[in-house]
Amino acid sequence: TFSSLTNNKPTVNLPPGPPHIPIITTLSWLRKSFSQLEPVLKTLHAKHGPIITLKIISRPSIFIADHSIAHHALIQNSSIFSDRPKPFPTSIIMSCNQHTISSAFYGATWRTLRRNLASEMLHPSKIKSFSEIRKWVLDTLIIRLKSASESEYADSVTVIPHFKYAMFCLLVFMCFGERINHEKINDIDRVQRSFLLSISKINILNFWPKVTRILLHKRWEEFLKLRKDQEDVLLPLIRARKQAKESRLNNLNTYVDTLLELELPEEKRKLNEEEMVSLCLEFLGAGTDTTSTALQWIMANLVKYPDVQRRIVEEIRDVMGGDDKGEKKEVKEEDLHKFQYLKCVILEGLRRHPPGHFVLPHAVTEDVVLNGYLVPKTGVVNFLVAQMGWDSRVWEDPMEFKPERFLKDETFDITGKKEIKMMPFGAGRRICPGYTLALLHLEYFVANLVWNFDWKVPEGGDVDLSETSEFTVVMTNPLKAHISLRM
């Protein structure tokens, strides 16, 4: 399936794909969002097989839809398939010359930045040190949902803004160590969102940048203003943290604190402020929209399938003991390991509705042959996450929401080390480093949301599971639920 191609390259072809007409094909692909690309890819995979090539901006973009080929690449040959493609000019600006974990080439800088996040923030003991803040965010979320559900006009509550706000408060606190006020949270959310919503407009700037700098100079200015706005909002928070650290005002270790300490191995220097802005935005961006999107999809399924919701409540009741909720209003995070069915619900949610339908684009460190085709160093390698989770050769009734399928597979490994059956967090060395935190957030919030409230379809309403691709793949019609306190 796989071989390295160092010397004496035999003639191996790129994976098959549709014909390429320079400029015209590129422009037509660039205009498409990933969600528009998905149905096209499905047709192309049906015609050409599980590994295909599209030419976008003269680079071959390879798309892999098969789980065992993904395993060969990402797990068995992880060190070769863990690079990132050469960045576009706009990404170089946003990531400060690839000084973020997700954008860095496979090498010493990436390793340092990733290890810092993994060991200083996401190690179980560090995650535990933020448990108080999770309780505070949960309490705030419950108060907000309760008051929204009691408002005079509300037969139903649109939940996603509340979920997003909760996830944002959590990650902002982990990043800056402050219970930042509502206004500031909205500011951070605004600068991040306005960038994400402009991505398709910004992408066009990368097509022949020398020309677009002249012809689309207004759009370039708008893009640079977006970046400037991000710095204006985040720099004061980073500087405040630096001051607090210098005057030892606070002994909590936040993400900014770890960044202030960090030394870049290749450049032998500390991070500058702009790089810290990019890293903080990456931290917030990677951990908020993804988790709140997943939370909304899971809750939507619990509203649509009351039996699943009832089963979670019964499981919590069994573990917590008796019907009397009394003081036991909170499902504590240290008890979460006892809830097996809840875990299955979260996994099924991530399989059926992965927040990202693709992992971030990968690249190879050298030309290789995969499944009989050339994967060139100059190419981009994409993996079709959603298609793998919906593969009928691996999953029975793949489009159904059936959490109990995971009960049979108690040791299911979401990291796909032995076998990739689904990969909502990616796989291999570039696997999402935040996956344990994300699973904790999902389990903790889903458990407590159904323990505190009964979630129902509003009168005359419906739960529509259609998808729209934004930064993540979200519900086209956001979940509206009738929420009442569970007595």
What residue ranges bind ligand HEM (CB under 6 A)? 101-102, 114, 117, 282-283, 286-287, 290-291, 294, 355-356, 359-360, 424-426, 430, 432-434, 437-438
β-bridge pairing 263-264 and 453-456: unpaired
SS3 of 400, please?
coil
Residue 164 CB, nearest distance to ligand HEM (Å)?
Answer: 13
- 209: tokens are 């940048």
Which residue in 451, 191, 454 sits closest to 326, CA to CA?
451
- 2: tokens are 């796989």
**H or E element in which residue 304 lies:** helix 273-304
Which residue in 49, 64, 47 sits closest to 383, CA to CA?
64
Residue 152 CB, nearest distance to ligand HEM (Å)?
Answer: 35
Between residues 120 and 454, which has the closer beta carbon with respect to ligand HEM?
A: 120
DSSP string, 155-195: SSEE-HHHHHHHHHHHHHHHHH-S---HHHHHHHHHHHHHH
Between residues 177 and 434, which has the closer beta carbon with respect to ligand HEM?
A: 434
Q: Helix H segments across 177-254?
A: 182-197, 199-203, 209-215, 217-246
CA-CA distances (angstroms) from residue 103 to 86, 99, 149, 393?
A: 9, 7, 42, 33
Residue type at position 312: I
Between residues 223 and 425, which has the closer beta carbon with respect to ligand HEM?
A: 425
Between residues 379 and 426, which has the closer beta carbon with respect to ligand HEM?
A: 426
Between residues 12 and 360, which has the closer beta carbon with respect to ligand HEM?
A: 360
Identify any residues that bridge with 368 across adjacent strands, giving them in sequence order: 4, 375
Between residues 403 and 424, which has the closer beta carbon with respect to ligand HEM?
A: 424
Residue 192 CB, nearest distance to ligand HEM (Å)?
Answer: 14
SS3 of 381, please?
strand
Residue 282 CB, nearest distance to ligand HEM (Å)?
Answer: 6
DSSP string, 147-158: HHHHSTT-SSEE
Sign of CA dihedral 299, 301, 306, 308: negative
Residue 462 CB, nearest distance to ligand HEM (Å)?
Answer: 25
Residue 359 CB, nearest distance to ligand HEM (Å)?
Answer: 4
SS3 of 387, please?
helix
Q: Which residue is nearest to ligand HEM (CB)?
A: 434
Between residues 102 and 448, which has the closer beta carbon with respect to ligand HEM?
A: 102
Between residues 117 and 169, which has the closer beta carbon with respect to ligand HEM?
A: 117
Residue 179 CB, nearest distance to ligand HEM (Å)?
Answer: 18
| Per-residue burial over 48-70, b = 16 or more CB atoms within 10 Å of its CB, e = otherwise | ebbbbbbbbbebbbbbbbbbebb
Residue 21 CB, nearest distance to ligand HEM (Å)?
Answer: 30
Residue 346 CB, nearest distance to ligand HEM (Å)?
Answer: 9
Residue 34 CB, nearest distance to ligand HEM (Å)?
Answer: 12
DSSP string, 78-94: HHHH-B-PPPPHHHHHH
Between residues 458 and 478, which has the closer beta carbon with respect to ligand HEM?
A: 478
CA-CA distances (angstroms) from residue 290 to 75, 102, 277, 451?
A: 23, 15, 20, 23
Between residues 175 and 205, which has the closer beta carbon with respect to ligand HEM?
A: 175
Residue 323 region, left (φ>0) first, then alpha (ψ -120 to 50), else beta? Answer: alpha
Between residues 220 and 283, which has the closer beta carbon with respect to ligand HEM?
A: 283
Residue 112 CB, nearest distance to ligand HEM (Å)?
Answer: 12
